[in-house]
Amino acid sequence: MRIEEDVKLDFKDVLIRPKRSTLASRKDVDITRDYQFKWSGRTYNGVPIIAANMDGVGTFDMAKSFLRSQSGMSVALHKHYPLEQLIEFFDENDPISAWYSIGMVKADQEKLNEFIKLRPSKIDKICLDVANGYSEHFLDFVKRTRDMVPDITIMAGNVVTGEMVEELILSGVDVVKVGIGPGSVCTTRKMTGVGYPQLSAIIECADAAHGLGGLICADGGCTVPGDIAKAFGAGADFIMLGGMLAGHDQAELDLVEENGEKFMTFYGMSSDTAMTKHKGGVAEYRASEGKTVKIPYRGDVSGTLQDILGGIRSACTYVGARRLKELPKRTTFIRVSQQINNVFGGG
Ligand code: 5GP
């Protein structure tokens, strides 16, 4: 048995140190990024924040709302939409706002094959999503998918260590999804004892990916706009958000009213709730690794987007980064005790 002694950090363990800046206003900051993906060769321009492929977050309505508001953000559509609805959505909306998501189950792959047969050039990016990106089976799946769609951008994960990031990139992944256990409705750390503090995972995985010309998407654990700034400062190229975008009109879920207050349910995609809804129950051999929570209804997502994008712009002005691209170069983290960070409202 081996114990790794070096300290691994989470968002709550650090703050970003302010630096001299010539920026007069947060309006002067450009928070879009331009990328060229390693394998698909496609280019990307936008605000690199992605709504997670979860019920109530990764929805058509969310994608339409991002398009309407010209926020530049995108949505990983949850994988439970039927083929006909996906076709209708992609026929009517610019694909720039959406990642088509699949898991490793055969039905997802068949649906993707069918979609591509019917609409050969409609989707430009897909998200291959499994809870544990360390299996041989997953690597084979990634390689097969890359062979099948050579010119489509592939985001895949999740992993948390550099060697697996490298392996995935060399197997054809353009963007590696990073995060095991940090999600707001995830119980993996509790149920299995497995995980990795997210800030350190981002720093280490970004380093590994960038060395090979690949990118990473930091997935899970952001609870306030400051966490998003820290994730970008740590080297994340994209950031995926679940809980921060939950509870809005765009959820396509029912509103519940109790004692005059409005709520929505939000649940992990491997929670009992999700498994019962989509698969008719929890399979015997696996424990649920997600929970269900009741969250206050927050109206239209546009107000939340303003807070998020404003927070990132402001972080850039504090360190003198005129463009989001400069944020990692201008970020120095200072370690703080949890108590101090809580005073500043850190997650
Ligand atoms: P959040 O932004 O809410 O902290 O994290 C969102 C991420 O949590 C998702 O993108 C996904 O990677 C992860 N996640 C969603 N549902 C579950 C679940 O049921 N179990 C686990 N372990 N992770 C989940």
Q: What is the pLDDT of residues 285-295, one digit of tens each?
A: 666 789 999 99
**Among protein residues, the one whose CA lies closest to atom 17 of ligand 1:** 268
Q: Tokens standing for 150?
A: 């050579």
Q: Which residues partner with 292 through β-bridges?
A: 267
Task: Among 54, 74, 101, 224, say which to mutate for ligand 1: greatest number of ligand atoms within 8 Å of CB.
Answer: 54
Q: What is the pLDDT of residues 80-103, one digit of tens each?
A: 999 999 999 999 999 999 999 999
List Cα–Cα distances, 130 to 79, 104, 158, 199, in angstroms.
Answer: 12, 7, 6, 21
Atom of ligand 1 nearest to the CA of 53: 10
- Cα 205 to ligand 1 centre (Å): 18
CA atoms within 13 A on the CB side of 7: 5
**Among protein residues, the one whose CA lies closest to atom 22 of ligand 1:** 186
Q: Is 298 helix (H, G, I), strand (E, B) or coil?
A: coil
Burial class (CB in 10 A: 0-12, 13-18, 19+), 52: buried
Separation between Cα atoms, residue 93 and residue 64, nearest integer Å = 7
- Helix, strand, coil abundance in the chain, percent, nearest 5: 40, 20, 40
User: What residues have CB less than 8 Å from 5, skipping those under 6 apart?
Assistant: none
Separation between Cα atoms, residue 76 and residue 97, nearest integer Å = 9
- Cα 18 to ligand 1 centre (Å): 31
- Cα 183 to ligand 1 centre (Å): 4
Q: Tokens standing for 134?
A: 């360390």
Contact (CB, 8 A) for 232 and 321: no
Q: What is the pLDDT of residues 99-142, one digit of tens each?
A: 999 999 999 999 999 999 999 999 999 999 998 999 999 999 99
Distance of CA 336 to the CA centre of its chain: 26
**Among protein residues, the one whose CA lies closest to atom 21 of ligand 1:** 186
pLDDT band at 254 (very low <50, low <70, confident <90, very high): confident
Give the active site residue among 186, 205, 222, 316. Answer: 186
- 273: closest CA among 288, 260, 284? 288
Contact (CB, 8 A) for 53 and 101: yes
Q: Tokens standing for 74?
A: 């995108």
What sections of 212-292 are H helices per DSSP? 225-233, 272-279
Average pLDDT value over all residues in the chain: 94
Atom of ligand 1 nearest to the CA of 241: 2
Using the predicted structure, report yes or no on whether residue 242 has a pLDDT greater than 50.
Answer: yes
**Among protein residues, the one whose CA lies closest to atom 8 of ligand 1:** 183
Task: Among 160, 185, 293, 295, say which to mutate for ligand 1: greatest number of ligand atoms within 8 Å of CB.
Answer: 185
What percent of the chain has a predicted confidence (pLDDT) above 90? 89
* Distance between start and end Cα atoms, the chain: 32
**Among protein residues, the one whose CA lies closest to atom 16 of ligand 1:** 268
pLDDT band at 340 (very low <50, low <70, confident <90, very high): low
Q: Which residues partner with 219 through β-bridges?
A: 240
pTM of the model: 0.96
Atom of ligand 1 nearest to the CA of 244: 2
Atom of ligand 1 nearest to the CA of 274: 19
Task: Among 186, 188, 245, say which to mutate for ligand 1: greatest number of ligand atoms within 8 Å of CB.
Answer: 186
- Cα 42 to ligand 1 centre (Å): 27
- Cα 187 to ligand 1 centre (Å): 9
Mean pLDDT across 271-288: 80
Mean pLDDT across 194-202: 97
Mean pLDDT across 242-266: 95
Using the predicted structure, report yes or no on whether residue 346 has a pLDDT greater than 50.
Answer: no
Strands (E), the chain: 14-16, 33-36, 43-46, 49-51, 74-76, 98-102, 125-129, 153-159, 175-178, 215-219, 238-241, 256-258, 261-267, 292-296, 333-335
What φ, ψ does residue 103 adopt, rounded to 5°? -105, -165
Separation between Cα atoms, residue 234 and residue 328, nearest integer Å = 6
User: What residues have CB less than 8 Å from 134, skipping those under 6 apart?
Assistant: 159, 164
Separation between Cα atoms, residue 180 and residue 221, nearest integer Å = 10
Atom of ligand 1 nearest to the CA of 271: 19
The residues lining ligand 1, judged by C-beta closer than 6 Å to any ligand atom, are 52, 54, 131, 158, 179, 183-186, 188, 219-222, 240-244, 268-271, 289-290
Atom of ligand 1 nearest to the CA of 187: 22
Task: Among 269, 275, 286, say which to mutate for ligand 1: greatest number of ligand atoms within 8 Å of CB.
Answer: 269
Tell which wins on pLDDT, 341 or 264: 264
H or E element, residue 192: helix 188-192
pLDDT band at 284 (very low <50, low <70, confident <90, very high): low
217 in catalytic set:
no
Q: What is the pLDDT of residues 161-180, one digit of tens each?
A: 999 999 999 999 999 999 99
Tell which wins on pLDDT, 24 or 320: 320
User: What pLDDT was estimated at residue 189?
Assistant: 93
